[in-house]
Structure 1
Amino acid sequence: MQIVRAVPTNIITGFLGVGKSTAITYLLKHKPADEVWAVLVNEFGEIGVDGNLLGAGQEPGKVFIKEVPGGCMCCASGLPMQIALNMLLARSKPDRLLIEPTGLGHPAEVLASLSSEHYRGVLDIQHTLTLVDARKVTDSRYAQHDIFRQQLQVADVIVANKVDLYESDSIARLQDYLRDLSIASPLQVTSQGQIPFAWLLGRSGFQASLFSPPQPSSTETFTELQMPASGFISKRGQADGMHSCGWVFAPSYCFHYERLMSLMMGLQMERLKAIMHTNRGWMLFNQVDGVLTSSELNDAPDSRIECISSQPEDWSQLEMALQSLSC
């Protein structure tokens, strides 16, 4: 008789730019060598950048990545997430599953879906880790945001990331904020997303009855991007007071690195992430809190850039600027 074991499953959540993808990359690099892990990643934007980034450099057959771009993965009665998750489980047969909701996603809805009868005996829901930048609790745009609060309320472990950048009272302010919300989950601190494997272990304490039922969304189900003759495609989205636009360029596109950096540094975005083919090779660009960084990548299937803004933007003007940077 074949014994089927429920897959240990962790939610890694947190607001935009807190370092979720960095943390998952660290976990994948330090996972048990004999285990197969799967990652289901959701992005607020419509094109998906994180899947390419997380999959880079992973040993074939040991890590499987599946994306659900375009808003919260639990929207539309959870159908996009369920389809992607079922495909991922069937393909990878993992020893552990990590799920990264978008920074603007409702993790309670994701947990409620995963805890439903449909996945009973299939998934073993373990600790939900919520990453937080303790400096943000003094900013009302974060502290009063319903999603920011919910991400902390569902946590089994709260991880104060980027601790190396904090001021002396940052942790105390975070503790006061959590106390005001009556949140008593254990608080851990780290930098650069360095999460020990042990923090994943333990049964989830999520109780669906404590949270409101999911609200319907008009977000369209993601379909595979079809590259037109122009060699690039763009997709736009809007939800929870945020606006996004992303572009995918064919691998033949090559961008001038210095001019691309100059363009990105002039953009005032809540979040920017890109993997681009440049005259210096494949590069990763990452903008958080107004700080833009770049690093080298070995390879990527295409060039992708995703921008998220709290204000409506002239995306057409940005598109023309990107096209003008082709080598």
Structure 2
Amino acid sequence: MKSVEVYILSGFLGAGKTTLLKNILKQEQENGRKIAVVMNELGKISIDSDAVSDDIPLKELLNGCVCCTMQGQLEAQLQGMLSQYELDAIYIETTGAAHPIEVLDACLSPVFADKLAIGAIVTLVDGPRYHDRTGLSIQLQKLLQEQIHHADVVLLNKIDALSDSEQASLVMDIQNIAPASKVLLTQFASVRLSDFQQVSRMKRREHEQTHVEHHLHLKTYVHTFTGPIDFDSFENFLRTMPDTIYRVKGYVAFTRSAETYLFQYSYGMPLYMKEPVKMKKTLVFIGENLDHDWLKQELTSLQH
């Protein structure tokens, strides 16, 4: 079964994400591809969903951002789409308050191993607002930087409201934050599919290290254990992990118990939850500059 491509559309409220989505869907339909959309709204009522025509499968996550309680719901929505439709690609339009890593995290659930292929994280930047960003709170400025930093493609939108020198200055600033990202200048979020679909894609293969071209900032490594591992050795491994590993999630079993555990790790905190169903013992690592050889060696040694 072929993997379904996933594209994450990130950016602040008002940057033009819904206009971007409309442009993308029009082109995808002209190409005859089967597309689905997940929209994430902060309020209890979705306004933007009117942008998606009735013949495109749409799931909505309301009253929250993907980064907190919505994450499990997003996984469930994706699972539902995959079982219900034959798709070529899924587009996730995030709320302006969402962090790209959190959204990617939900897409990389071990449940989706080999079912989803992460395409690109596309961040839309409101040109005039970014130019005047010093007026934003420190927290919002930091989030905006993070959205740019983790993007594979950055669209600097509404450039018609900026002078040539302002455009050049903002592009330079964006390239400093995300040197490997592709930066495009847009009006009305007008972009060609090829502008981001040709960005290198994450290929995830069972039992193998993930192959990722150097353009993609957030990398993954998928490791499947053949049996239970030693708990203390695993805890020691977590303490030696580089801080550029942001998330670990998946299922593990330990030699000291017959249970299977759902394991999640973020910001240095491990969490173990007993899993009543026997799941494949697979962990997904998300981070930057992952040393696949080191991870494979360390994780394999836990079984000996």
- What TM-score comes out, normalization by structure 1 length? 0.58
**Among 32, 41, 51, which residue is 1:54 paired with?**
51
The reply to whether residue 207 of structure 1 matches residue 215 of structure 2 is: no
5 Å-filtered alignment, 1:18-37, equals: 18-31=15-28, 32-37=30-35
Q: Which letter does structure 2 place at the counterpart of 1:149?
A: Q
Q: Percent identity at matched positions?
A: 27
5 Å-filtered alignment, 1:54-73, equals: 54-56=51-53, 58=54, 60=55, 63-73=56-66
Using the TM superposition, give the Cα deviation of residue 99 of structure 1 relative to its aligned residue in structure 2, in angstroms.
0.6
Quote the residue 2:97 is aligned against.
104
CA distance in 2 between counterparts of 1:135 and 1:173 reads: 12
5 Å-filtered alignment, 1:270-281, equals: none
Q: Secondary structure at the match of 2:191?
A: coil
Using the TM superposition, give the Cα deviation of residue 46 of structure 1 relative to its aligned residue in structure 2, in angstroms.
1.9
**Which structure carries more helix by proportion?**
2
The reply to whether residue 125 of structure 1 matches residue 118 of structure 2 is: yes
Quote the residue 1:251 is aligned against.
none
Quote the residue 1:139 is aligned against.
133
Q: Which letter does structure 2 place at the counterpart of 1:146?
A: K
For 1:32-64, what per-residue CA distance to the aligned partner results, in whole angstroms no more than 9, with x for missing partners? 44221001010121211112x1224x5x3xx21
Quote the residue 1:6 is aligned against.
3
CA distance in 2 between counterparts of 1:18 and 1:41 reads: 15
Quote the residue 1:185 is aligned against.
181
For 1:281-321, what per-residue CA distance to the aligned partner results, in whole angstroms no more than 9, with x for missing partners? xxxxxxxxxxxxxxxxxxxxxxxxxxxxxxxxxxxxxxxxx
Q: Which letter does structure 1 place at the counterpart of 2:147?
A: Q
Q: Which letter does structure 2 place at the counterpart of 1:139?
A: R
| Structure showing greater relative contact order (alpha-carbon pairs closer than 8 Å, 6 or more residues apart) | 1
Using the TM superposition, give the Cα deviation of residue 184 of structure 1 relative to its aligned residue in structure 2, in angstroms.
3.4
CA distance in 2 between counterparts of 1:44 and 1:123 reads: 25
Contact 1:20 1:131 in 2 (8 A): yes
Gaps of 5+ in 1: 217-327
Structure 1 outlier segments of 4+, above 6 Å: none
Using the TM superposition, give the Cα deviation of residue 179 of structure 1 relative to its aligned residue in structure 2, in angstroms.
4.5
Q: Which letter does structure 2 place at the counterpart of 1:26?
A: N
Q: Secondary structure at the match of 2:57?
A: strand
CA distance in 2 between counterparts of 1:194 and 1:180 reads: 24
- What TM-score comes out, normalization by structure 2 length? 0.62
CA distance in 2 between counterparts of 1:194 and 1:170 reads: 20
Quote the residue 2:296 is aligned against.
none
CA distance in 1 between counterparts of 2:171 and 2:23 reads: 26
Q: Which letter does structure 2 place at the counterpart of 1:12?
A: L
- Taking only aligned residues, the RMSD between alpha carbons, in angstroms, comes to 2.5
Q: Secondary structure at the match of 1:169?
A: helix
For 1:201-221, what per-residue CA distance to the aligned partner results, in whole angstroms no more than 9, with x for missing partners? 1315213645473799xxxxx
Aligned residues: 208
**Among 160, 167, 185, which residue is 2:156 paired with?**
160
Contact 1:9 1:123 in 2 (8 A): yes
Deviates more, 1:131-140 or 1:16-25: 131-140
Quote the residue 1:247 is aligned against.
none
Quote the residue 2:171 is aligned against.
175
Using the TM superposition, give the Cα deviation of residue 162 of structure 1 relative to its aligned residue in structure 2, in angstroms.
1.5
CA distance in 2 between counterparts of 1:20 and 1:214 reads: 29
